[in-house]
Chain A
Amino acid sequence: MTTVFRMRSDMLNIVRDDLERRHPFAAERVGFFLCRAGRLNDDGLVILAGAYHPVEDDDYLPDDTVGAMMGPGAIRKAMQRAYAAGAGDVSLFHVHMHGHSGLPEFSRVDVDESKKFVPDFFNVAPLMPHGIIVLSHDRAVGLCWRGQSQEPTLIGRFAQVGAPMRIWRGKR
């Protein structure tokens, strides 16, 4: 069962630039990909990033224990955008960045926190896959949920579509 995540280089450059902006108090920034999907032969999925929405400055909560803590408005707005964009046909992928090159690792907080909020995405698009993406300066890894009560699986393959085109395995 393969999961492929594809995104355009020009959009990814905008995302990385956005996530590197300093926030007034949060140590890092986060955002959301709005994605569409297609089925592959082996019960696999291809996820296609179509748009990016940063979390607004006011939707962060002060919290020194994590890099960025989203307030309830951040997730509510992301879900509203997903619903407005596709009325149930749009996937939501939370995204943030680790400031290094090479394949990033999920932190314990990345995994634990995402298990709290990603299942809520199924409330607006119950039949779509949802998940999280962690970018580095040149690579990404991701987790994909295929159902609200299912455990996430690693995204196996990434393709950055541009010139040059980059393709990499998303798991070690």
Chain B
Amino acid sequence: MSGRLASQSFLGPESDSVLAAIEVGIVGLGGGGSHVAQQLAHVGIGKFVPVDHDIVEDKNLNRLVGATAEDVMAGAAKTAIAERVIKGVNPAALVTPRQMKWQEATADLRRCDIIFGCVDSYRERDELERFARRFLIPYIDVGMDVHASQEGFIISGQTVLSSPGGPCLWCLGILTQERIAEDARRYGEAGSRPQVVWANGVLTSLAVGLFVQLVCPWHGKSQLSACCEFDGNNHRVESNRLHHARNIRCNHFRSDELGDAFFCRSE
């Protein structure tokens, strides 16, 4: 166990080499994904595929970890900021930045051992989970939102570990036809979705914890599936949805619906 990771030696005698060998995809490098990239670099992950087509803007600085005012002036790519943050912590990390929509980076994402999804819309969550299931990749979804209410605003969100064979975002009620339809209705609306750094920090820390317990379990109850629901007004995390879905047999994804549907025609 090397000196830098000595304080997490409880993850196992070979945890540093296990973590260094893992390749992680991070889709969306805004308020959620930037936190994930930074934490995974500290944890000792060795290979990254950060994916985001966007550049950093002034409105992102309230939450995008690692971004600076100079980056805004320079119109820096979010992928470049993630790479800088990762390599600043771990210069030996292999980073394959992809400044493009994730649907154009699938040949890299297929290689990943796990994918973190920090995307804005339910439609994209649906597509990303479908992609991950087809390639037997555990998918960790992070989502937060701020809703207006009669008494002010409600901060909420969830972190979901969706693994092949376990309940999916549809089983858990995170994805619904109504939410996807609402996405479509709001498509093109002016203004950005409300996001705050502290709520993103809670949700992404849960995501990194779920990931580490999957690959370097430090206790005997490693979880294949998880759904952590964050109540940002009462500062609580609960997992009622998973409790209800625990005995559901997922029928949204068949075990034989795998791989590239057009493999034989994609040479």
Instruction: Closest A residue to B261 by CB, please name it.
Output: A89
- Given the complex of chains A and B, what is the CA–CA distance between A80 and B128 in angstroms? 33
Closest CB in chain B relative to A82 CB, distance in Å? 12
Report how far A4 CA is from B258 CA in the complex, Å.
14
Q: Report the interface size class on chain A.
A: 20 to 34
- Minimum CB distance partner of B21 in chain A: A167
Once A50-B258, A165-B215, A167-B21 are accepted as A-B contacts, the answer to whether A36 and B164 lie under 8 Å apart by CB is: no
A-B residue pairs in contact (CB < 8 Å), sample of 19: A8-B164, A36-B256, A36-B259, A37-B260, A37-B263, A38-B135, A39-B110, A39-B260, A40-B108, A48-B134, A48-B136, A48-B258, A50-B255, A50-B258, A85-B256, A127-B264, A161-B164, A162-B163, A164-B214
Beyond contacts A38-B110, A50-B258: 15 other A-B pairs, Cβ-Cβ < 8 A, are A36-B260, A36-B263, A39-B266, A40-B110, A48-B135, A128-B263, A161-B165, A162-B165, A163-B163, A163-B217, A164-B215, A165-B113, A165-B214, A165-B215, A167-B21
**Residue ID in chain B nearest A40 by CB atoms:** B111
Count residues on chain B whose CB falls below 8 Å from chain A CBs: 33
**Contacts A164-B214, A164-B217, A165-B215; A40 near B107 (Cβ below 8 A):** yes
Known: A41-B107, A88-B264. Contact between A167 and B113, CB under 8 A?
A: yes
Given contacts A40-B110, A163-B224, contact A127 B263 (CB under 8 A): yes
* Residues A44 and B263 in contact in the complex (CB < 8 Å), given A8-B165, A50-B256: no
Chain B positions within 8 Å of A88 at CB level: 264
* Bound CA–CA A46/B224 (angstroms): 22
A residues with CB within 8 A of B: 2, 4, 6-8, 10, 34-41, 44, 46, 48, 50-51, 85, 88-89, 127-128, 159, 161-165, 167, 169
Is B222 close to A, CB under 8 A?
Answer: yes
Choose among A2, A35, A89 the residue with the greatest number of B CB atoms under 10 Å from its CB. A89
- Selected from B136, B223, B260, the residue in CB contact (under 8 A) with A8 is B136
The answer to whether B259 and A167 have CB atoms under 8 Å apart is no
Instruction: Given A4-B111, A163-B224, answer yes or no on A127-B267 (Cβ-Cβ < 8 Å).
Output: yes
Q: How many A-B residue pairs have CB under 8 A?
A: 97
Q: Please, which residues of chain A bring their CB within 8 A of the CB of B18?
A: 167
Q: Which residues of B contact A (CB under 8 A)?
A: 18, 21-22, 107-108, 110-111, 113-114, 134-138, 163-165, 214-217, 222-224, 255-256, 258-260, 263-264, 266-267
For the complex, give the distance between the alpha carbons of A163 and B225 in Å.
Answer: 9
Most buried by B among A10, A35, A169: A10
Q: How far is the CB of B117 from chain A (nearest CB, A)?
A: 17
The 8 Å CB contact of B110, one of A46, A161, A167, A169, is A46
| Closest-CB distance, B239 to chain A (whole angstroms) | 15
Q: Which 8 A-B pairs have the closest CB atoms?
A: A36-B259, A163-B224, A36-B258, A163-B222, A127-B264, A41-B107, A38-B260, A48-B258
